[in-house]
Amino acid sequence: MTARLARIRRHPVKSVGGETLDSVTLTAGQTLPGDRRFAVLHADAAHHLDGPALRTWLPKSAFLRGAAAASLQAVRGGWDGDALVLTHPDRPPLRFDPQGGDDAPLLDWLAPLWADSGKAPPLRLVEGPQALSDVRQPWLSVLSLSSLADLERRLGRALGTDRWRGNLWIEGWEAFAEHDMRLHKLRIGPVVLKLTDRIERCAATSVDTATGRLDGDMPTELHRLFLHRNFGIYAQVETGGTIRPGDEVTVL
């Protein structure tokens, strides 16, 4: 079976929703455009601000994140024109302009979802000088639908794609083939990616994204099955271009 790009996902606000794209134009040495462009800084990380702005990449511990508050994993949504539209099973829909200068509606909307974390309250929506992903390097993530199906079979329950918050989903590979592709290259349409490091998974992947409630302990389950906690692999864009679902994927 020929491997193909099945799905493109972008997460405009770190750990808060996500959207599916019909196409994306990648640039060499850069992340997926607009992915993790924004994040919500909590009050204990206020000292990182330079005035109202964030001038440097910060680790995920500085932000609201699903690993600390499972409810956040059930947030859905993305761009609608110039506004972001978010939904959650326990909150009314929210529409807001992240560049409008008033982040209070978003912070108020997120506060009850973050409350169970026991951490400092939401402080400010910030835009990073680079993608505010879990790694400092300008990488995107590549995941396999075959690997997901195999993992679901082994665990005896549906997991879905959203809990993994991946960028590019591939169909047609052998299950977990990507685990051994580190330092290989992929061609997707005109784009060439260099695969870099496997993605070690955190507690956020233990949450059912339909409900925002824990349905297992994914890092422990991965370790029990495979003696590691990895699922998916990071990639660096070497040759840019526009890609779409259905594009053929070739291992170089």
Q: What is the pLDDT of residues 211-242, one digit of tens each?
A: 999 999 999 999 999 999 999 999 999 999 99
Angle ∠(116,213,75) on CA atoms, nearest 5: 80
Residue with tokens 């491997």: 3
Percent of the chain scoring above 70 in pLDDT:
100
Q: How far is CA 100 from CA 18, 105, 106, 113, 208, in A?
A: 20, 11, 12, 23, 32
Q: Are 29 and 37 in contact (CB under 8 A)?
A: no
Homologous superfamily (CATH) of 4-31+135-251 is PK beta-barrel domain-like (2.40.33.20)
Residue 78: is its pLDDT beyond 80?
yes
- Strands 191-200 and 230-239: what pairing? antiparallel
* pLDDT confidence of residue 228: 97
Query: pLDDT tens digit string along 7-22?
Result: 999 999 999 999 999 9
* pLDDT confidence of residue 181: 95
Q: Are 48 and 124 in contact (CB under 8 A)?
A: no
Mean pLDDT, residues 94-111 taken together: 95
> Torsion over CA of 237, 243, 245 and 247, rounded to 10 degrees?
-90
**Which residues make Cβ contacts (< 8 Å) with residue 251, sequence separation at least 6?**
3, 181, 184, 185, 186
* pLDDT confidence of residue 101: 86
Query: pLDDT tens digit string along 144-199?
Result: 999 999 999 999 999 999 999 999 999 999 999 999 999 899 999 999 999 999 99
Residue 1: is its pLDDT beyond 80?
no
d(CA 195, CA 89): 36
Edge-to-edge order in the sheet of strand 83-88: 76-80, 83-88, 91-96
* pLDDT confidence of residue 142: 98
Q: Are 41 and 62 in contact (CB under 8 A)?
A: yes
Mean pLDDT, residues 110-131 taken together: 96
**Taking phi first (over 0 means left), then psi (-120 to 50 degrees means alpha), and beta for anything else, what does residue 65 get?**
beta
| Mean pLDDT of the chain, nearest integer | 97
* pLDDT confidence of residue 51: 87
Residue 202: is its pLDDT beyond 80?
yes
* pLDDT confidence of residue 9: 98
Range in 56-60, 97-101, 165-169, 190-194 the model is least confident about: 97-101
Q: Supply the DSSP symbol for 227.
A: S
**What does the domain layout of the chain look like in residue ranges?**
4-31+135-251, 38-127
